[in-house]
Amino acid sequence: MTEYGHQAADEVWECARCGVPLEPREISVSYLDSAFPVELLRCPKCGQTLVSEELALGKMIEVEKQLEDK
Amino acid sequence: MEQLELHQLEDHCIQEHLPPCTAACPIHVDVRGVLAELGRGNSAAALTLLNKTLPFPGIIGRVCDHPCQTACNRKDAGEALEIAALERACAEWGGPPTPPKVFPKKGKRVAVVGGGLSGLTAAFDLVRKGYAVVLFETDGRLGGSLWEISEELLPRTLLMEETRRVEALGVEIRLNAPIADESALAELSATFDVVYLAVGTLSACSFGLALDAQGCVQVDPVTFATDRAGVFAGGGMLHRPGESSFVLAMSEGRRAAISIDRYLQKVSLTAARYNEGPYVTRLYTNTEGIDPLPAVSMSDPRAGYTQAEASQEAHRCLQCECMECVKVCEYLEHFDGYPKKYIRQIYNNLSIVKGTRYANTFVNSCSLCGLCAEVCPEDLDMGEVCRRARQIMVAQDRMPPSAHEFALRDMAFSNSDKFALTRHAPGTEASAYLFFPGCQLSASAPQQVEKTYVYLREVLSGGVGLMLRCCGAPAEWAGRTDLFEEVQAGFMADYRALGSPQVILACSSCYRIFKEYLPDVTCVSLWDLFDAHGLPEEAGAVPQEGRAPLAVHDPCTTRHESHIHESVRHILERLGCPVEELLLSREKTECCSYGGLMWLANPELARDVVRRRIGESPTDYVTYCAMCRDFFAAQGKPTLHLLDLLFPLSVEGYGSEGVDGARRGPGYSQRHENRIRLKRHLLRDVWGEHVETERGDEMIPLRFTEAVQERLEQRLILVEDIQAVIAFAEKTGTKFVNRETGHFLTHYKPNNVTYWVEYAPEGDGFVIFNAYSHRMELVEEESA
């Protein structure tokens, strides 16, 4: 999967718990016994990770469908 | 699915069987293909196709007794196609034929005795297969009995030109070379590996071969082998005078050539040989509604069709095929095939060990409605095939989790304490009847469920109990035998506790499930009861004079319940409602896309299915299934539920009000809410119990714009899911914040789906800006 670490200027999220900006980080996502590394925004302190709407409804759903048909 | 089971099912689909013309033709000319090319004006392509089966098209086009024309389906709509004349036109206008491909020489020698069409065809086929062929002809010319045809019909130049083609291919022709007795045959047999005898009608000599009772040479009817090894026979010598034909003689020459090839290759002469001669096809072609057209006449009958006339005549060809199921089913049409093809794809899909299962979507898109079986001349039910395939996919652990989960969660909701309820009528301890309204009617029209229960208790004696549950149809559709059995066991326990009363079913899907899986439970359709016991008083509250007509849409699960169709029409008649019958109704009715969970597995196709159905008449529809009504109304078709006419006055307290056919049904969240409220209302109003439903997170007030609400519906995200996400975020503080807008973004995975919600606090609740979901899981627990 491609990188999704970039945010539009009006969509800057920070961790509400830790009060720090998010940083891009390679995260493992898994579904139906398959796992992939994806670059996602993540709180450097607590590890809370963000999945954007664009990723969820775009590439993720596409890969989910592919894996479901494997 | 076992290979055998597959082949048996596949065999029921006749779409790939030959059209009647080709099956009736002794050498199986691809008439349909040839006529298609001619119809398009492609004479050359037509001739190429014709030449694939027919070595001498010019001759046969003039002399054939054309059994194809007797079989032609066009005769039911005008006149049969002039196939023979079109073949002749093909040969005339198609230009010079391309010389056929000849295989490398095999070093075996075949003697063909007789230069008529049978011998010529055998020689033609065998030389192409790579055998050295010598043709012996008594006369000084090729053609045999063709020379008895008038010159006007069969010009001699054409006769000589076409018969000479075998020579061009390498057949050695020996004219004036009679093989006239047993010893001459013995001599040939000694010199050649095989002999094919095709000398025409037998005169004195029978070559010492065994004869049948008619005095004709006796051969094996499939292989054309005589009683002498290495000697085959065909053509006129097998028949009494006048009982053969030119094209049959060619057919026998061809079939003998197949045997000779196998004989020389030392393989079975008989294996897999069927339908080589003329036969009656199983292919069905519906000619209903086709405009009758007479044959195109020739401006000069002696010259035959001109090119333009031939094209015009060929254009009348019906291009016979079955496709009966595909014609009436948006789903079967959508995937560009027909059952035989689909069943093979399903089989491959179920057999794949590693690789992509391309047919998953196909299998899960069927509504399982059974219309295909209804229109199929061979009763093939693709719904049953898909149902079985889904069960196998579940058993193989290969069912895509996203395909049916939403509906299965809905079913679980209906069978949870939030909705499920089983009671005797108030003040009674026995029930002769049990009203089972079903989950979706309760979600769509809870007020009418309440009224129906009042009505039933008025007209029936012996006690009418109530049971709110889901019948398990979603599990059956999803191939989840495990869940289905669980639901049925739950029902049976409550049902027995009530003393096994007669079950009154309002929903036809429930009716089908009960009838098919619980045959010991006595059931009656609500509509039959209304018909038997009279209409509720309230039905008269709306003036009946001048009611607009309504077109009846029968739910697909009533397909084989003609008594329900009748009751519904009686009720409409009593309501003074003029009824219009749709072309596809009663046992041929269509599904609204709710069946089989098509709407969930393939929403785009489901939209097309609804669009097709609602476009079948401009009249408003009336139906007696809540999902049909809601699905049609959602796409703009005013559709009434029969209960709208029986209980036309609306009640307060539910999400959707009124009984206007154009009203939109409740959304998915509201459907849950309506069931919760229905249970609460019934307990309060019928049993006088005040119930505080356990409602934790669900008490969190949410506010949405209409656009956001619409988006949540499309994304199948329920209000209760959002409430669970916010409750989790607010409790744990796990959320992101946008300092610019003050919005929070958070996620939670209450089931197999992770939901993301963008929200902000407002008053005592929250305003929702967006929500989306995914199934992939993040590995984020460990600290960075």
Q: What is the pLDDT of residues B180-233, one digit of tens each?
A: 888 999 999 999 999 999 998 876 678 888 888 888 899 999 999 999 999 999
Q: Do A17 and B738 touch (CB under 8 A)?
A: no
**In A, which residues are within 8 Å of B403 by CB distance?**
68
Pairwise CA distance, residues B268 & B412, whole Å = 61
Query: Is the pLDDT confidence value at B580 over 50?
Result: yes
How far is it, in rounded angstroms, from Cα B460 to Cα B96?
85
Q: Which residues does chain A have within 8 Å of residue B783's beta carbon, measured at their own beta carbons?
A: 45-47
d(CA B664, CA B710): 12
Task: State which amino acid sits at residue A29.
Answer: V
pLDDT in tens, B679-706: 999 999 999 998 776 667 777 899 999 9
Please name the residue of chain A whose CA is at the shortest distance from the CA of residue B356.
A70
What pLDDT is attached to residue B177? Answer: 93
Tokens of A10: 């009006």
Distance (Å) from the alpha carbon of A43 to chain B's nearest alpha carbon: 8
Identify the band that residue B652 occupies on the pLDDT scale cut at 50, 70 and 90: low
What is chain B's alpha carbon radius of gyration, rounded to the nearest angstrom?
Answer: 37
CA-based nearest residue in chain A for residue B783: A47
B103 burial type by CB count under 10 A (0-12 exposed, 13-18 middle, 19+ buried): exposed
Listed in sequence order, the residues at least 6 apart from A19 whose beta carbon sits closer than 8 Å to its beta carbon are: none
Q: How far apart are CA B189 and CA B534, in angstroms?
A: 90
Alpha carbons A68 and B362: distance in angstroms, whole number: 14
CA distances for A25 relative to B17, B575, B733, B738, B780, angstroms: 60, 68, 22, 20, 11
> Residue B139: how many CA atoms within 13 Å on its side-chain side?
12
Q: How far is CA B55 from the centre of its chain?
A: 38
Averaged pLDDT for residues B322-343 = 97
For residue A37, give both structure tokens.
């590394």
Question: Model confidence at B101, in pLDDT bands (50, 70, 90)?
Answer: confident
State how far the Cα of B407 lies from the Cα of B367, in Å rounded to an integer.
14
Q: Which of B480, B553, B563, B478 is nearest to B526 (CA)?
A: B563
Measured over the CA atoms of residue B278, residue B283, residue B287 and residue B290, the dihedral's sign is negative
Chain B nearest CA to A2, separation (Å): 15
Q: Under 8 Å CB-to-CB from B419, ≥6 apart: which residues? A: B413, B439, B442, B468, B469, B675, B676, B678, B679
If you count residue pairs, one on A and one on B, with CB atoms under 8 Å apart, how many are there? 104
Rounded to an integer, the average pLDDT of B129-151 is 95
User: A59 to chain B: nearest residue by CA?
Assistant: B774
CB contacts of A40 in chain B (<8 Å) are: 778
Q: Find, among B504, B514, B518, B426, the residue nearest to B467 by Cα.
A: B504
Decide if A47 and B781 are in contact by the 8 Å CB cutoff: yes
Q: Does pLDDT of B660 surpass 90?
A: no
Chain B CA closest to residue A25:
B784
Residues in Cβ contact with B307 at an 8 Å cutoff, skipping those fewer than 6 apart: B41, B43, B89, B93
Structural contact between residues B553 and B621, judged by C-beta atoms closer than 8 angstroms: yes
Taking the Cβ of residue B782 and every Cβ of chain A, the question of whether any pair is shorter than 8 Å is answered with yes
Give the residue from chain B lying closest to A45, CA to CA: B784
Is the Cβ pair A69, B745 closer than 8 Å?
Answer: no
Both tokens assigned to B751: 């089931």
> CB count, 10 Å around CB of A24?
14
* SS3 of residue A42 by DSSP: strand
Mean pLDDT of B60-84: 95
Residue B657 pLDDT more than 70?
A: no
Whether A57 and B772 lie within 8 Å, measured CB to CB: yes
Q: Work out the pLDDT band at B653, boundaries 50, 70, 90.
A: low
Neighbours of B429 (CB within 10 A): 8
| pTM summary value | 0.89
Min Cα separation B390/chain A (Å): 13
- What's the confidence (pLDDT) of residue B391? 95
Cα–Cα distance for residue pair B8/B381, rounded to 1 Å: 12
In B559-578, the residues whose Cβ lies within 8 Å of chain A are none
- Rounded to whole angstroms, how far apart are CA atoms B757 and B743? 10
Contact: A50, B745; criterion CB under 8 Å: yes
Look-up: residue for tokens 């060809």?
A: B317
- B778 to A56: CB separation less than 8 angstroms, yes or no: no
Interface of B with A in 314-373 (CB under 8 A): 355-358, 360-361
Judged by CB atoms closer than 8 Å, whether chains meet at B736 and A57 is answered as no
Q: Report the pLDDT value the prediction gives residue B711, as an integer from 0 to 100.
A: 95
Question: CB-based contact (8 Å) between B773 and chain A?
Answer: yes
- Which tens digit of pLDDT belongs to each residue from A24-69? 999 999 999 899 899 999 999 999 999 999 999 999 999 999 999 9
Q: H helices within B518-602, ranges in order?
A: 526-533, 562-574, 598-601
Give the model's pLDDT for residue B779: 79
